[in-house]
Amino acid sequence: MSLKLRLTRAGAKKRPFYRIVVADSRYPRDGRFIEIVGTWNPILPKGDPKRVVLNTERIQHWQKMGALPTDRVLRFLDAAGIAKRPARNNPTQAKPRKKAQERAAAAAGAPAPAEGAAPATPTT
């Protein structure tokens, strides 16, 4: 059984509230779960202690059993000091893609004449 520590959505429309649960990865997002180990209320301000509530003892127990946290839950665990989240670095993400590089090279090499402009005629 592949266990995950993940979020399940609760709350009303436009008023999200999430439970942090232990579930089999094959179960639906808001479906069956094994145990609730915390909550997250994104409506509350970031400094509020009730915004993220974690049962650290049960989370550590389930991690020992092999449960892997999702990216968002891992952020919460890192902030609480329970787990370490490795820093991500993708230096190629900000680079322009192939076509943009071609356009930039063409623009830098020779400026294209404006559309509708008369061609330049040599004066004699």
Domains of the chain by start residue, with CATH? 3-80 (3.30.1320.10)
pLDDT in tens, 17-67: 999 999 999 988 888 999 999 999 999 999 999 999 999 999 999 999 999
- State the pTM of this model: 0.70
Residue 6 neighbours by CB distance under 10 Å: 22
The reported pLDDT for the residue numbered 118 is 59
Give dist(CA 58, CA 63) in Å, integer.
9
The reported pLDDT for the residue numbered 119 is 59
Helix (H) or strand (E) holding 61, with range, is helix 56-64
Residues in the chain: 124
Does residue 55 contact residue 40 with C-beta atoms inside 8 Å?
no
β-bridge pairing 52-54 and 35-40 = antiparallel
